[in-house]
Copies of this chain bind each other. A is one copy, B any other.
Amino acid sequence: MADQRVDILNQALPYIQHFRGQTFVIKYGGSAMKRPGVLTGVIRNLLLLKLVGINPILVHGGGPEIDSWLTKLGIEKRIHEGLRVTDKETMDVVEMALSGRANKALVAEIQRAGGKAIGISGRDADLLIGEPISEELGRVGKILQVNAAILTVLSESGYIPVVCSVASDSSRNALNVNADTAASAIASAISATKLILMTDTDGVLAERSDPTSTIAKLTLDEARSMVEAGRADGGMIPKLQAGISAVKDGVTSVHLINGAAPNALLLEIFTDNGVGTMITV
């Protein structure tokens, strides 16, 4: 057992040598986030990345957390074209659930595992500046500008930055932004090597109805045509778009992996085959 452990540590050596000093933006979210065992596993993976010299930046949303508080408060959830209609009252709950609950839960988990984390919102230090997408969607925003200096300050001081997907508009009022999009924008702004989007499925499927048909690799063009041809699953489209945008902006590779699969993060980084779907130029 112990022999096996060190043997395997040895096998990870070339991967560690390769990725040392690079920055990975990792988006964690979705339904798997509530399962404690899953969270613990992801955090341990994250700490190991930090310890071997990779700089991880964690970005998260928190749909289920938001839904739960809306229900408790008796506020109706409304969806328009797949996006949460976010009036002022809903925005308050969104920000509260993300910045005040999901963000601090992740930070506490990292600290509990012996790491050092700082939880911030996209509103801190004007990290994410955006504008509303449309009048119908209220405070749903798109990102116009990323001021990433604070992430470098925190990373270089030894902390893991944990960022929730809330932005400010130019008047510094809160906007509800998609977490995949936020992660992609941050990855582009800091020239990350990898953008890793954790989802509830094992990657992009060749056949929507066949859960075993995961596509291992997509070029930028293939990913684009999947989106344009409508061949991708509805929930997968914004993730693919986030990935396409990051690769176009110079991020070396984007990975769509199943966040609930044990050790998906390390498997992706420390083995040749990886897991899920990888998008590259």
Contact = CB atoms under 8 A, between A and B. Distances in A.
A103 interface: yes
Given A150-B159, A159-B150, A11 B17 contact: no
Given A97-B96, A168-B108, A17 B114 contact: yes
Contact of A125 (B10, B41, B159, B267): B159
A208 interface: no
B5 A270 contact: yes
Interface in A1-45: 2-14, 16-17, 20, 41, 44-45
Interface in A138-183: 150, 153-154, 157, 159, 166, 168, 171-174
Interface string A108-143: 110111101111110111100000000000000000
Nearest to A74: B72
A212 interface: no
Interface residues of A, number: 72
A124 B159 CA distance: 10
B119 A120 contact: yes
A14 B114 contact: yes
A8 B10 contact: no
A157 B159 CA distance: 14
Interface of A: 2-14, 16-17, 20, 41, 44-45, 47-48, 51-53, 69, 72-73, 92, 95-101, 103-104, 107-109, 111-114, 116-121, 123-126, 150, 153-154, 157, 159, 166, 168, 171-174, 262-263, 266-267, 270-271, 273
6 nearest A-B pairs in the assembled complex, by CB-CB distance: A100-B100, A6-B266, A96-B100, A6-B263, A99-B100, A2-B271
